Chains A and B, each alone.
Chain A
Amino acid sequence: MIAPAMALRGVTKRFGSVIALRDVDIEVRPGEVHCLLGDNGAGKSTLIKILSGVFRPTAGEILIDGGPVVFRNPRDAQERGIATVFQDLGMIPLMSISRNFFLGREPLKGIFPFRRFDKDQANTVARAAMADIGIDVRDPTQAVGTLSGGERQSVAIARAIHFGAKVLILDEPTSALGVHQAAMVLKFVIEARLRGLAVIFISHNIHHAYPVGDVFTLLNRGQNQGTYRKSEISREEVMQIMSGGEDLRSLEAEIEGLLSAIAEKESTQPAATA
């Protein structure tokens, strides 16, 4: 098996007395989509912030290509090839696609004091980089704010791939999207995987995660509930574990009991509602 591009070993994160993550181990390999699944409060957000350098773990270590690393800030993680697409997407709505694409890494031309932002180059490269993974941009000078959620997500992914990310972390990339747009984003996730990136896909939506995932790690209440390859687990089993299995069944029973009680009440007192 290929060596992991990035790994967490025994990572714990405490906020005061709250234990957000407890002893989590995760390995992501190049050319693999690793889905992190969990319900609200499972610790997904904390985990992503540790992976991307926003938080430092209270205990445990982060390994890149087998060696331990400490991220001082998100920029530090980026420089080591960890590209994170947060839900705010790291883009500025009022700025153009190509200006956003190169923000902080602008191509320059000319000599001092006339060294300037090479806009033509930026437009051409941004358009080409996106065409490369199958996004057709007709006008890279268009403000990012005019794009739909799925399109913005795609631009962010294209940017990460273009700037040579080894590990691509996607935070709920499809959560706010409709069916069509979600499918489009999932296509780009597969595209990134084909290029040999290690993709970490965070989601609470199994229907989006299952088709593209190779490996599934299930988080619940800050703990790793197990890591499974796709061949080892079905969609239904993932759902069972994610929701805490028993809990969901008892909840269903409770709701059914409530509904039948209401129905009974209505049938005995038909005049009251008239």
Chain B
Amino acid sequence: MAGTDSVAISSKRHGATDERIARTGWLTRLLRRPEAGAASGLIATIVIFALLPGAGALYSLQGSMTFLTLSAELGIIATAAALLIIAGEFDLSVGSMIGFAGIVIGLTVRYLDFPLWGGILSAFATAVVVGYFNGLIVVRTRLPSFIVTLASLFILRGLSIAVTRAVTGRTQIPYILDEIPDPGTAKLFNGEVFTGFFHWMGEMGWIATRSDGTPLVGGVPMSIVWWIGVTAVASYILTQTRFGNWIYASGGDADVARNVGVPVSRVKIILFIGTACAATLLATIQVTEAGSADTLRGLLKEFEAIIAAVIGGVLLTGGYGTVIGAMFGALIFGLVQMGIFFTGIDTDWFKVFLGIVILVAVLVNNYIRAKALGERTAR
């Protein structure tokens, strides 16, 4: 048997094998996983760009680190978005929340003389409130989250611009990191890890260095570390915990879940807080890297997050998908964005490509879901 049999319940008390059930091999099992489409898509994308001109630059250490950073920034919000979509809801206010959180950090640090950690904590507190209200309105009114968070999208963006202009007279807040009492806090978000290792590799002549001997890529950016951390925690929650079971159930069938005692409303509200906090984490990374906040930060990021999750095999209707899939989705997204740049193709084509990828991803998802159900519901 070796675990390769498929289903089944047989009506016999000590059932012999049911002759109608075909054996499924490990490959079929692997292909039935939600992230299978994204994994093969990622491999295909890597191969295609390896064959195109500019592959050398794209896959150099510097090029890789650039697209990984892009993937990481998207991946942080895509992970939270994936959990929420699996629970059956959307958050369109993620992009605006990125801008808003940046402004909260900027204003508190520059105009209220908060230390940086105080500004960051204020931003996260704001995110909890925003996420809580998004979630509360959705579960109380039973309106589609699409509409509720579309409202939040405009409210948050409008607030960012209006408040910033009222306080500063401009729409950007520069020099946030100047003269802060705790520059070490910034390093948690804009620093690099393994710098010693990279320096050593530079000395050994294994990686490219500047004329002064320091490596071009000084280490792994913190954004990538945060991405890996967020992905690991979210994946653990989704697959290993009771709360994860409730996430799937809330998106699979909220009424059924409620009837067996799953606190569906609480699950959804917590995940709305999750997306707002992920947006705030990304905002913190961006603010500390740029040293400034901009009211237009995060524009359209909510769609990119949803796209990455969907490319990763998360079902738009909820109840199905994985965090690892969203990670693959973010990787594809970052790779294609940088790949098109390095191959010399006009980057205007990126969006055309993106649209096609979304369509293909959704079709593949439907197919895989049908496979997962043994095509019983697809007919």
Contact = CB atoms under 8 A, between A and B. Distances in A.
Nearest to A88: B256
Given A92-B248, A92-B256, A104-B260, A151 B372 contact: no
A103 B369 contact: no
B255 to A, nearest CB: 8
B11 interface: yes
30 contacts: A78-B261, A88-B255, A90-B259, A90-B260, A92-B248, A94-B248, A94-B315, A94-B319, A95-B249, A95-B252, A99-B245, A104-B257, A104-B262, A116-B240, A116-B241, A134-B11, A137-B8, A138-B7, A139-B3, A139-B6, A142-B6, A145-B373, A145-B374, A145-B376, A146-B374, A151-B8, A151-B9, A155-B9, A184-B11, A187-B11
Contact of A94 (B8, B236, B244, B373): B373
A78 B262 CA distance: 13
B7 A139 contact: yes
A145 B255 CA distance: 17
B242 interface: yes
B252 A93 contact: yes
B249 A92 contact: yes
Contacts of B319: 92, 94-95
Nearest to B13: A134
B5 interface: yes
B272 interface: no
B141 interface: no
A130 interface: yes
Interface string A112-123: 000111010000
B178 to A, nearest CB: 38
A117 B373 contact: no
Given A74-B259, A117-B241, A151-B8, 4 more contacts: A139-B8, A145-B372, A146-B7, A151-B9
B377 A145 contact: yes
A108 B5 CA distance: 28
B376 A95 contact: no
B236 to A, nearest CB: 8
Interface in A80-139: 88, 90-95, 99, 102-106, 108, 115-117, 119, 130, 134-139
A137 B5 CA distance: 11
Contacts of A135: 9-11
Contact of A93 (B6, B9, B245, B377): B377
Contacts of A102: 245
Contacts, number: 119
B256 A90 contact: yes
Contacts of A174: none
B140 interface: no
Interface of A: 74-75, 78, 88, 90-95, 99, 102-106, 108, 115-117, 119, 130, 134-139, 142-143, 145-148, 150-151, 154-155, 180, 184, 187
What 3 pairs between A and B have smallest CB-CB spacing?
A: A92-B252, A136-B15, A104-B261
B253 interface: yes
A143 B315 CA distance: 15
Contacts of B315: 94
Nearest to A142: B7
Nearest to B259: A74
A99 B249 CA distance: 9
B142 interface: no
A50 B3 CA distance: 44
A147 to B, nearest CB: 6
A117 B12 contact: no
Contacts of A147: 7-9
A94 B13 CA distance: 26
Contacts of B249: 92, 95, 103-104
A115 to B, nearest CB: 7
B261 A138 contact: no
Contacts of B15: 136
Interface string B142-171: 000000000000000000000000000000
Contact of A143 (B11, B261, B373): B373
B320 interface: yes
Given A103-B257, A138-B5, A145-B377, A94 B245 contact: no
B10 A136 contact: yes
A146 B9 CA distance: 11
Contacts of A150: 11
Contacts of A142: 6-8
Contacts of B369: 94
Contacts of A136: 8-10, 12-15
B83 to A, nearest CB: 16
Interface string B355-379: 0000000000000010011101100
A214 B249 CA distance: 37
A91 B248 CA distance: 12
Nearest to B34: A94
Given A90-B260, A92-B249, A94-B369, A117 B11 contact: no
A94 B320 contact: yes
A138 B8 contact: yes
> B3, B8, B9, B241: which has the most chain A beta carbons within 10 Å?
B9
> A92, A93, A117, A155: which has the most chain B beta carbons within 10 Å?
A92
Contact of B245 (A106, A146, A151): A106
B253 to A, nearest CB: 5
Given A94-B320, A187-B11, A117 B5 contact: no
Contacts of A117: 240-242, 244-245
Contacts of A92: 248-249, 252-253, 256-257, 319
Contacts of B372: 94, 143, 145-146
Given A94-B319, A99-B248, A115-B241, A75 B259 contact: yes
